[in-house]
Chain A
């Protein structure tokens, strides 16, 4: 197995790990962390794809930098919503998922 394939498989595993967290976690902050894991997993997979065949393809790298900035923008708004929601409700969970606990 080549190094590039190793990183692609790691990317695939990161996507799965993050997806599990996004569905299974109830604390919203952890869900946004999981969202970031999926995004970066996809980027590693794309970066590995671009590194096949010797010379690194600059296009995936540019796409990934754009993607990292977009992910930060979304995270910042999501985190702000969590804080505002917790201030209003006293809990960092969606009303319908806030059972027991």
Chain B
């Protein structure tokens, strides 16, 4: 019975992925991709990876989907949404892709089951300061990855801002939105923020012991901001507003400061002494969630625009 469930889910995932690549029209490809992300989140639940399922649903399907839909809208304004008609079947590409899949399938059959890192992890986990093993890996054992990852987001945002036109630099971020006051979007935008903020804060809060954490919770908070901006309820800030720029770097800054604090106390760079590891991770997660929320929202809203350039 469970096997049939897994097989059906996998077949659906593959079908939707094929439709994303081969289906007619870029808009439809984006819609298929969002469905794909949601199905994938189910697959993660089936693989006992609830933390990943949350991240996949929030980031992989939700935020990435909005990002692509917004971009599609802008391309349509520039008249660049149309795709050239499909040419001949690209046989070389098909063969290369089949070879890649074949190689991975062969590797799966040939893969040994390693004895690592089970015993080493089991020994380390009780000293990590948090109950959720995924949070322990992210914010303690592999904290250096996570710190670098938080600045990858920042690098992407600064790079994205470099795509603004010089004359638009002092404008608010994103395209100006005009929403009918009584419309669906407006009411949606009024109801969602308080609910979303609560949900986001809760997901960050429980991350220490149960599935959740800064990335998933921050994404929910980002979604709140994006919906509020799309509903025209709030006007996104200008790049020049320093308080918002401080919000972007708060998470990496607190994380780095905690890491350096460990070094200053003689414990070592990025070392969280066992006694205070739990509270230190909690503080880092709060700051990270704030920065992730603002950065993700700004990434989706886009660089500053005047809204006049295409008229």
Contact = CB atoms under 8 A, between A and B. Distances in A.
A and B touch in the complex (CB under 8 A): yes
A64 B55 CA distance: 9
A43 B36 CA distance: 14
Interface string B157-169: 1011001000000
B47 A51 contact: yes
Contacts, number: 250
B94 interface: yes
Interface in A6-47: 6-21, 23-27, 29-30, 32-34, 36-37, 40-41, 43-45, 47
B83 interface: yes
Interface string B136-157: 1110001001100100110111
A74 B153 CA distance: 8
B156 A77 contact: yes
B97 A73 contact: no
Contacts of B51: 61, 65
Given A29-B72, A58-B133, A69-B215, 4 more contacts: A16-B100, A17-B18, A44-B43, A84-B163
B136 A69 contact: no
Given A6-B10, A76-B160, A87-B78, A66 B149 contact: yes
The bracket for how many chain B residues form the interface is 35 or more
B156 A17 contact: no
A34 to B, nearest CB: 6
Contacts of A11: 104
Given A7-B47, A15-B100, A83-B74, A66 B138 contact: yes
Give 5 closest A-B pairs by Cβ, nearest first. A101-B84, A16-B101, A86-B80, A21-B21, A58-B133
A72 interface: yes
A8 B113 CA distance: 14
Nearest to B137: A62
B156 A76 contact: yes
B21 A18 contact: yes
A93 B40 CA distance: 29
A19 B94 CA distance: 9
B167 to A, nearest CB: 13
Contacts of A59: 117, 121, 137, 142
Interface in B1-19: 2-3, 6-7, 10, 13-14, 17-18
Interface in B60-111: 60, 63-64, 67-68, 71-72, 74-75, 78-81, 83-85, 90, 92-94, 96-98, 100-101, 104-105, 108, 111
A30 B83 contact: yes
Contacts of A12: 101, 104-105, 108
